[in-house]
Amino acid sequence: MTVQVETPARRPDTDGEAQAPLHSHGRMTALTLFSPIRAGWLPLLRISMWLGKWAPIAQRHTLQFNFIHFVRWAVVREFPYNGPPQERDRLNYPYLLFESNFDGPWRQYIDSFAYVIPRDIRYVWGRGIAFPGPPPAEPLKRWIAENSMEGGTLYCAYPEASTRMVLGALATRDALQRLIADSDGLGPDAFKTRYEQFLTEVQAHI
């Protein structure tokens, strides 16, 4: 399901700093950043992005955050070309596009990145212009508010469910299928024992 939402105008936060323009639907919040990349850093950034896509050890740093629905980085060198009469519009230098959908407030999301994987964040954005390497997280939040994009389209298959709820539902489904397969031919006492094992296995998810 793709949802079109209106973006509120940037407004001062409680501490006087600008908020990032955010879009939410159900439990999910979306954030998009578009920031320039310093000259000379692009080749190394492309290599690191390739490793992040194909190397499991590199993926674990992001996958440890089980409140993230979706996250991606992309290098943008020119705007999409749709043919004449549009003219090709190539940027003077490359930009890094970051998109993420996640559960909960955006400030807590940035806190997790700033304090749990600060080296990863500095490596990806550390050669960006005026990037404040975390920690602490507050300068990073101000930088994100300044570089986040206005926009109103996001994807959410289960707007009322968090990622933990979806993962719990999948784990319960798999355990139920195993219960059904194991119960074939069991007598009442054996089934009772197996059913209690099932409840113990899924009690954290239901």
- pLDDT, residue 9, reads 39
* Gyration radius of the chain's alpha carbons: 22
Contact residues for 41 (Cβ-Cβ < 8 A; gap 6+): 127
Contact assessment for residue 23 and residue 151, using Cβ atoms and an 8 Å cutoff: yes
Alpha-helical segments (H) within 27-153? 42-54, 56-63, 106-116, 118-125, 138-147
The pLDDT of 130-159, averaged and rounded, is: 80
Pairing mode, if any, of strands 28-36 and 90-103? antiparallel
More confident residue, 179 or 74: 179
Lowest mean pLDDT among 5-9, 46-50, 82-86: 5-9
Q: How far apart, in whole angstroms, are the C-alpha atoms of residue 102 and residue 65?
A: 10
Structure tokens given for 15: 């501490």
Side-chain half-sphere exposure of 188, counting CA atoms within 13 A? 0
8-state DSSP, 25: E
Q: Is 87 left (phi over 0), alpha (psi -120 to 50) or beta?
A: beta
- pLDDT, residue 168, reads 92
- pLDDT, residue 152, reads 57
pLDDT level of residue 190 (50, 70, 90 thresholds): very high
pLDDT level of residue 18 (50, 70, 90 thresholds): low
User: Does the pLDDT at position 151 exceed 80?
Assistant: no
pLDDT level of residue 130 (50, 70, 90 thresholds): confident
- pLDDT, residue 153, reads 62
Q: How many CB atoms lie within 10 A of CB 31?
A: 21
User: Does the pLDDT at position 201 exceed 80?
Assistant: yes
Distances 181 to 104, 191, 203 between C-alpha atoms, Å: 38, 11, 20
- pLDDT, residue 22, reads 65
Q: How far apart, in whole angstroms, are the C-alpha atoms of residue 66 and residue 49?
A: 21
Q: How far apart, in whole angstroms, are the C-alpha atoms of residue 51 and residue 59?
A: 9
Amino acid identity for residue 204 in this structure: A
- pLDDT, residue 179, reads 95
> In this predicted model, what pLDDT tens digit does every residue of 90-128 receive, in sequence order?
888 888 888 888 887 778 888 888 888 888 888 788 767
User: Does the pLDDT at position 4 exceed 60?
Assistant: no
* Strand partners of residue 75: 96
More confident residue, 106 or 175: 175
Which sequence spans correspond to the domains of the chain?
A: 2-155, 163-202
> In this predicted model, what pLDDT tens digit does every residue of 54-82 receive, in sequence order?
777 767 777 778 888 888 888 888 888 88
Lowest mean pLDDT among 25-34, 112-121, 135-144, 152-161: 152-161
The pLDDT of 128-150, averaged and rounded, is: 83
Contact assessment for residue 35 and residue 128, using Cβ atoms and an 8 Å cutoff: yes
